[in-house]
Amino acid sequence: MFNLHVFYTAKDKATLDRFYDEVRAAGIIEATHEEEGNIRYEYYFCAARDNEILIVEQWKDRASQEYHDSLPHLVTLGEIKQKYGIETVIEEVR
């Protein structure tokens, strides 16, 4: 199993909310849930910092997650992140 914590940080809560709304409308979360090898892909809003989202990703293996990164809906996600100036930190969880 391969696990990641991905932190998205926006300049403020309003920007983060608009970002998340656009991600949902684009169907990125649902498309990821349907991918071969995906076990978990969930967004959590931070209670302490209202401009941050934690994504918990769990994959069958590293290859499944790497393939995920090449798919069209992840290209769209990258464009949406750029539009809203979202900073990203990725941590592998062992």
Q: pLDDT digit string (tens) for 43-87?
A: 999 999 999 999 999 999 999 999 999 999 999 999 999 999 999
Q: What is the pLDDT of residue 83?
A: 98
50 Cβ neighbours under 8 A, 6+ residues apart = 13, 16
Contact present, 1 and 50 (Cβ < 8 Å): no
- State the pLDDT confidence band at 91, using cuts at 50, 70 and 90: very high
Domain limits, the chain = 2-93
Residues 23-44 pLDDT 10s:
999 999 999 999 999 999 999 9
Architecture of the domain made up of 2-93: 2-Layer Sandwich (3.30)
Q: Give the pLDDT band of residue 11 (cuts 50, 70, 90).
A: very high
What residue type is 22 in one-letter code?
E
